[in-house]
Amino acid sequence: MDLQEQLKKLFPDHQPLPEEKTEPEPISVQLQKEPLICKYEKRKGAATTLIEGYEGSEAELKILAKELKTFLGVGGSVKDHVIIVQGDYRDKIMQKLKEKGFKVKRVGG
């Protein structure tokens, strides 16, 4: 028995309102003049990829980080205006950022 059936038994005279479908506004990420810096670093023996130099707001940075982490299927975080991705994914990250219209610069290795 699903929720709708249970509600009909409790409130037989109630007529549900038609549901309005609203699409959320897509949140865009601001493009910038300076290139993003994509570099590799080892932290406590684990490989990490850092993306620095984003000029937009913290909220936009978190959106960009979530998109990258979802695309790669890995974990990560945003700290001090730097995106930290677990693993060495510089090539894939740079390709994805270029597709989104960012300029990207590879640093180290």
pLDDT at 26: 55
**Whole-angstrom Cα distance, residue 15 to residue 68?**
44
Give the model confidence (pLDDT) of 5-43 as tens digits: 888 888 888 777 777 666 665 555 666 788 899 999 998
Q: What is the mean pLDDT of residues 98-103?
A: 89
Give the model confidence (pLDDT) of 39-60 as tens digits: 999 989 999 999 999 888 898 8
Task: Supply φ then ψ for residue 53, to 5 degrees.
Answer: 95, 15
Give the model confidence (pLDDT) of 60-81 as tens digits: 899 999 999 999 999 999 999 9
* Beta-carbon count within 10 A of 106 CB: 14
Task: Tell me the whole-structure pTM to 2 decimals.
Answer: 0.70
Task: Look up tokens 């959106």; give the residue.
Answer: 63
**Whole-angstrom Cα distance, residue 51 to residue 54?**
8
pLDDT at 28: 58
